[in-house]
Amino acid sequence: MVSSKPLELESEERRLRATDKEKEALFADNKEEQQGLSAPTLVAVFSTFFIVLFLFVPKIYLSNNIYYMSRSIQKLQSQEEILQEEKNRLQLELEKQRYKYSIENMQ
């Protein structure tokens, strides 16, 4: 078969093509680079993670404690209000009973 490309283009294309040895060398370099993180990078990532963890765990713990304490305080305050209302009702009832007793004793 006769190629439709001019001879100059074919010779330039052959010159630009990589040989098998060059291909193997290129792929070998890629395999070495893709084996993972280096040790200093890994140490830096873990140290950053532990520093952030060390800084934020106490804040999260305190926030949760504050939340649950405020819930219990709110519950106690509502119980106090209910007991105050009950006390007032009982005082009124007692006052009615005293008045009734005093009227009955007057007669």
Q: What is the pLDDT of residue 8?
A: 64
User: Does the pLDDT of residue 81 top 80, yes or no?
Assistant: yes
Give the whole-angstrom CA distance, residue 69 versus residue 63. 10
Q: What is the pLDDT of residue 13?
A: 60
Q: What is the pLDDT of residue 31?
A: 54
User: Does the pLDDT of residue 50 top 80, yes or no?
Assistant: yes
Helix or strand (DSSP H, E) at 2: none
Mean pLDDT over each residue of the chain, to the nearest integer: 84
SS3 of 10, please? Answer: helix
Q: What is the pLDDT of residue 79?
A: 98
Q: Per residue in 13-43, pLDDT tens?
A: 666 676 777 777 777 755 555 567 788 999 9
Concatenate the DSSP letters of all residues of 33-64 into one string. Answer: HTS---HHHHHHHHHHHHHHHHHHHHHHHHHH
